[in-house]
Amino acid sequence: MRPRSKERFSFGLDIGTQAVKCVKLKFTGSAVELAGFEMLGWFDYSVKRPEIEKFCNKMIQSGNLSPACRNEAIKTLNRIK
């Protein structure tokens, strides 16, 4: 019997990148975009954390986010720092 902890980590190394790609889709101001930023906040121990930080900074500075999404991006950035 294999240990379950190994099973959990063997498939999820690229999830952070996939999450960023999901948020990059143009659902501006939608619930999908908001949920995507919330989801990115869960990757504070991910090896993709620097990529997620860079993405959140870029999106916040772009000014293309709705106020709710911008606030969530800021919260996400603070969570993963």
With a cut of 50, which residues of the chain have pLDDT below it?
1, 5-11
Q: What is the pLDDT of residue 29?
A: 62
Q: What is the pLDDT of residue 8?
A: 47
Q: Residue 23 contacts by C-beta under 8 Å, 6 or more apart in sequence?
A: 33, 36, 37, 39, 40, 55, 59
Q: What is the pLDDT of residue 11?
A: 45
Q: What is the pLDDT of residue 6?
A: 45
**1 lies in some domain:** no
**2 lies in some domain:** no
Q: What is the pLDDT of residue 70?
A: 92
Give the structural domain span for 44: 14-80
**44 lies in some domain:** yes
Q: What is the pLDDT of residue 1?
A: 47
Q: What is the pLDDT of residue 53?
A: 92
